[in-house]
Amino acid sequence: MRVVCVGSGYVGSVTAAAFAFLGHDTTVIDIDPNKIRMIQSGNSPIYEPELDRLISMTIEKTLHAETGYDSVNQADIIFICVGTPSKADGTVDLTYVTQVAEQIAPRLNPDSFTVIVNKSTVPVGTAERVTAIVKQISGLQAGIHFSVVSNPEFLREGSALEDVFFPDRIVIGTESEQAKIVMRELYDRLLKRHDYEQWSETFSCLNQPDKPPAIYFETDSKSAEMIKYASNAFLSVKISYINEVARLCDALGAQVQHVAKGMGLDDRIGNKFLQVSSGWGGSCFPKDTIELLSTSQKYGRELTVVKAAIDSNLTMHEYCVDKIKSRLKSLNGKTIGILGLTFKPNTDDVRKSQAQVIIAKLLELGANIKVHDPKGMEMFRKFNMEFPIIYCEKPEETAQYADAIVLLTHWDQYLQLDWSELYSRMSNPYILDTRNVLPRSELNHMGFQVEGLGTS
């Protein structure tokens, strides 16, 4: 099939490369010429494990990249994969989605049926909105010349290749029977694992012969749009809950890791998203929970559980800062090393990361900040140019004359550090491990004072 993906960010680049790898003639469109040049040269415009290799294997074969919209006229399916940032009031800004719809509309082929797919996370009713825009500009009839489908992405940054080839579910939202047929044909190779041997031999993360096939679920467009928001909000609530349990464990002297493990043994609860942290962040959870809450309030059906989860998350950021402040008494003039700026490992994405909030609070209290991240420093500097902080090329440099080290992101390389070297550099050997992943007994033996979350 002829596929077009508009947008080459975390969703668009992965989606386009995956369909190209599956043999579909795929074009990725982006108005940023730098991103397009990177893709054309076989490189990924974002950091995602193995994505560079996937792009280099398919570029100029089944994968193409361009800044214009010439390929739209011959496309069978067009994915809208652009950003949907939050506005000041917390609602979603659909400017980019609207602009893409306006670009697509006059270029549609009136002699064929084209499926337009909202892959970006968009509010309920967006499929209808895009349909109206395309219909008005193109003069074509919805359901005859084109249909708009909601096919939300469920990719985890850092594990996107695994998620795109081995999804738990594929959700298709449309009222058009013809669009359903087209989408089934598109996903047929993925569901049947066409050329699976090539997948598994090429990418180790795809060598999962026992992985169950995805559930292909068809529904209406509004329900599909709601599924995405409801899913992300639920996961946010789950994280906020275990973080609240961690705070209570600190007060009671219980071990939250043991509590979480015992809870997760119950199949009704499961063990995923029960890992304690300094809070949830990233490009999805903060934006999606606020949008869903705003929508619920607009319609007089406030989701009080989601509201509480958002408030609890902010409390968790404060709780981490309070722990440091309690240990050091005063933060004014103290030097604090931060390990990890991205909202999770194996990505360069720092949008709405926990580090942004916590560093801002530490700076307000007069602390001097040194930071390190294997992949996220360039983006963090770009988004936080007002922060008077020191960026360190090596993680050990954050410990120089530091009064505290705070682990925010559990990158593998931080678990392999020579902590004796960090100890020798620090003015005060205090570590706050917000992920409870460091070898505490070993570090205590070295002379560190190590504190976790929910482990007192």
117 carries a ligand binding annotation:
no
CA distance to 156, 371, 383, 391, per residue, from 378 (Å) = 21, 12, 9, 9
Q: Which residues are catalytic?
A: 284
Q: Which domains does the chain have, with CATH numbers?
A: 2-219 (3.40.50.720), 285-451 (3.40.50.720)
For residue 199, the model assigns a pLDDT of 83
440 carries a ligand binding annotation:
no
For residue 201, the model assigns a pLDDT of 85
For residue 456, the model assigns a pLDDT of 74
What's 126's DSSP letter? H
Please, what sign has the CA dihedral across residues 43, 46, 47, 49? Answer: negative
What's 123's DSSP letter? -
For residue 39, the model assigns a pLDDT of 98
Contact (Cβ atoms closer than 8 angstroms) between residue 353 and residue 281: yes
Bridge partners for 339 per DSSP: 372, 407
154 carries a ligand binding annotation:
yes
Distance of alpha carbon 86 from alpha carbon 29, whole angstroms: 23
297 carries a ligand binding annotation:
no
Residue that the structure tokens 């009080």 belong to:
304
Q: What is the pLDDT along the chain (456 residues), one digit of tens a residue?
A: 999 999 999 999 999 999 999 999 999 999 999 999 999 999 999 999 999 999 999 999 999 999 999 999 999 999 999 999 988 887 899 999 999 999 999 999 999 999 999 999 999 999 999 999 999 999 999 999 999 999 999 999 999 999 999 999 999 999 999 999 999 999 999 998 877 888 888 888 888 888 888 999 999 999 999 999 999 999 999 999 999 999 999 999 999 999 999 999 999 999 999 999 999 999 899 999 999 999 999 999 999 999 999 999 999 999 999 999 999 999 999 999 999 999 999 999 999 999 999 999 999 999 999 999 999 999 999 999 999 999 999 999 999 999 999 999 999 999 999 999 999 999 999 999 999 999 999 999 999 999 999 997
273 carries a ligand binding annotation:
yes
Contact (Cβ atoms closer than 8 angstroms) between residue 419 and residue 443: yes
What share of residues in the chain are helix, strand, coil (percent, to 5)?
45, 15, 40
Q: How many residues does the chain have?
A: 456
Tokens coding 421: 């070297």
329 carries a ligand binding annotation:
no
28, 25, 24: which is closest to 38 by C-alpha? Answer: 28
> Is the pTM above the cut of 0.85?
yes
CA angle, 225 then 3 then 177, to 5°: 55
350 carries a ligand binding annotation:
no
Tokens coding 308: 């509480």
Number of Cβ within 10 Å of residue 219's Cβ equals 16
For residue 88, the model assigns a pLDDT of 83
Collect all residues with Cβ–Cβ distance below 8 Å to 186 and sequence separation of at least 6.
Answer: 1, 3, 19, 24, 76, 77
For residue 455, the model assigns a pLDDT of 92
CA distance to 357, 363, 366, 373, per residue, from 335 (Å) = 17, 10, 9, 17
61 carries a ligand binding annotation:
no
What do you get for the CA distance between the two ends of the chain, in Å?
57
Collect all residues with Cβ–Cβ distance below 8 Å to 352 and sequence separation of at least 6.
Answer: 281, 282, 283, 285, 286, 287, 343
Number of Cβ within 10 Å of residue 2's Cβ equals 17
Determine the residue type at 431.
I
For residue 82, the model assigns a pLDDT of 97
Task: Measure the CA dihedral 288/289/291/297, to 10°.
Answer: 160
